[in-house]
Amino acid sequence: MHDATALAAAIADGHTTARRVMDASLVACEAQAALGAVVHLNTAMAQEQASLADRHDRDQRGPFHGVPFLMKDLGATAKGLPASAGASALRTIAAAPKADSDLAAAFRSAGLIPFGLSATPPFGLALSTEPEGLPPARNPWDQDRTPGGSSGGAAAAVAAGVVAMAHATDAAGSIRVPAACCGLAGLKPSRGAVPGGPDFSNHLMGIASELVLARSVRDIATLFAHVHDRPPPATWPESIRIGLALPDRCDAPQTAGARAAGQVLADAGCIVVTIPAPDQLGAEAHCIARKILSVSLAEWLAILDIPDEAVPALAARTAAEGRAMSGMDVFALSRDVARISGLAHALFDNIDAVLTPVLATHPPDVGAFDLTTPDTDAHFAQMEAFAPNAALANVAGLPAFALPFGMADGLPFGVQLMAAKGGDDLLCLLASLIEARAPTLRYPGPVAGMPR
């Protein structure tokens, strides 16, 4: 398997070096520039850190020692990489952090070497990835299509082989949607399961989570165990119960894929039953997430003293909606989050996990999500229609794992597993059962630096 685990093993076994792998990633960044996946590189830091990694004591190396790694241009920050959230107004004032965030430090302790930033839409406000003033990110499977968003640059880079693993964030599907668009694995962790400090700037009232996009379930499981710093359960239920939920909005390939994944779990010994899709809860969660994103963006622009005319029209209108909310409105959001969390917890009274499609259809063309429009109602409705009920896991604080399950019309498609809060390790187990029996994907490019 060509993934980050295999690349780290090749470095550990002496088949290559961290410096050679990093040089290969840097070359791949240039060769794959047309994908628009990478928006910032610190080449000198990359080479220096890779050379240091080759001299690191072997008994103090993390599980991904020497593996090149991209941070996202939004969320947790890493030393030397000035994030600007895909926005021109921030790009002009962004300064390189002098220290790692807690999550970046955890990534680094796992042996990963952050050396650049992956593309995101302005302020993460789309399920496509078209940073302001820069080329759009493109899907390596079909460059006319989007790789999803808002972690689309990360997804494009991993699917193309620029890196084997990349940082990603998820406040309304932004890990899981790009995973499904690009044939990758991605876990949106439970609320509070990974470090968010020291400033918790991407907390978003608890709806945002961060981890990575990768080519394998084992990469996700290993890194989650490292940053979560808590061992998985020693035992599992004798018969894991799966609820198969198929929203009417999902097209035939997405629905068929979820059914097939359900059969895989049944063949592996799980009890699979069909349940109603949680569409009402999903719709409520989507509205709550939209309000939280609005008030967050309003605060963000105010803190940085950025006027509305300096940001895309969609961002300006979204921020205006946030400013129009009263203190009582914002306080009510905390109660709404708690209410949805309680209702979502009840989904698991008689099942252990929910299996659904990730998307309603294949990824649309680049440009399908228009950030120049002030029509926020249409924009947020378009996002919810593309990724049905995606925000439920965010608002309820649930873990949700997206992974590929085959191809249709030349494009990969994904399925999603969701569990009760704290069920991240269960999802890793179930995802590994599906992955072992899923159709094999042949990625558009090999992982840079992987020995032949």
Q: How far apart are CA 448 and CA 163, in angstroms?
A: 6
Q: Which residue, chain included where needed, has tokens 């992956």?
A: 118
Instruction: Check whether 272 has a pLDDT greater than 80.
Output: yes
pLDDT category of residue 96 using cuts at 50, 70 and 90: very high
Catalytic amino acids?
72, 150, 174
**233 preceded by cis ω (within 30°)?**
no
Q: Is the dihedral of CA 436, 439, 444, 450 positive or negative?
A: positive
The strand pair at 411-419 and 400-408 is best described as antiparallel
Tokens of 202: 């991407």
Instruction: Check whether 379 has a pLDDT greater than 90.
Output: yes
Q: How far apart are CA 60 and CA 294, in angstroms?
A: 44
pLDDT category of residue 102 using cuts at 50, 70 and 90: very high
Residue 184: φ, ψ to 5°:
-120, 170
**150 preceded by cis ω (within 30°)?**
yes
The strand pair at 400-408 and 185-188 is best described as antiparallel
Q: How far apart are CA 378 and CA 314, in angstroms?
A: 11
Answer for the pair 212, 428: CB distance below 8 angstroms, yes or no: no
* pLDDT tens profile 136-165: 999 999 999 999 999 999 999 999 999 999
Half-sphere exposure of 356 (CA within 13 A, CB side): 30
Entry pTM:
0.98
Query: Would you tell me the crossing angle of helices 313-323 and 376-386 to the nearest 10 degrees?
Result: 100
Strand partners, 187: 401
CATH of domain 4-437: 3.90.1300.10
State the CB neighbour count (10 A cutoff) for residue 372.
8
Tokens of 200: 């918790």
* pLDDT tens profile 405-446: 999 999 999 999 999 999 999 999 999 999 999 999 999 999
Query: Domain residues of the chain, as ranges?
Result: 4-437
pLDDT category of residue 235 using cuts at 50, 70 and 90: confident
pLDDT at 249 (0 to 100): 96
- Mean pLDDT for 53-70 is 95
Q: How far apart are CA 311 and CA 273, in angstroms?
A: 47
- Amino acid letter for position 191: R
Residue 441: φ, ψ to 5°:
-95, 140
Instruction: Check whether 234 has a pLDDT greater than 80.
Output: no
Of residues 119, 117, 123, 114, the one with CA closest to residue 90:
123
* pLDDT tens profile 348-360: 999 999 999 999 9
Q: How far apart are CA 152 and CA 158, in angstroms?
A: 10
Instruction: Please give, one letter per residue, the 3-state secondary structure of the chain.
Output: CCCHHHHHHHHHCCCCCHHHHHHHHHHHHHHCHHHCCEEEECHHHHHHHHHHHHCCCHHHCCCCCCCEEEEECCCCCCCCCCCCCCCHHHHCCCCCCCCCCHHHHHHHHCCCEEEEEECCCHHHCCCCCCCCCCCCCCECCECCECCCCCCHHHHHHHHHCCCCEEEEEECCCCCHHHHHHHCCEEEECCCCCCCCCCCCCCCHHHCCEEEEEECCHHHHHHHHHHHHCCCCCCCCCCCCEEEECCCCCCCHHHHHHHHHHHHHHHHCCCEEEECCCCHHHHHHHHHHHHHHHHHHHHHHHHHHCCCHHHCCHHHHHHHHHHHCCCHHHHHHHHHHHHHHHHHHHHHHCCCCEEEEECCCCCCCECCCCCCCCCCHHHHHHHHHHHCCCHHHHHHHCCCEEEEEEEEECCEEEEEEEEECCCCHHHHHHHHHHHHHHCCCCCCCCCCCCCCC
Instruction: Work out the mean pLDDT of the chain and round it to a whole number.
Output: 97
Instruction: Check whether 233 has a pLDDT greater than 90.
Output: no
Answer for the pair 297, 74: CB distance below 8 angstroms, yes or no: no
Q: Which residue, chain included where needed, has tokens 């390596």?
A: 140
pLDDT at 60 (0 to 100): 87
Tokens of 7: 């690349």
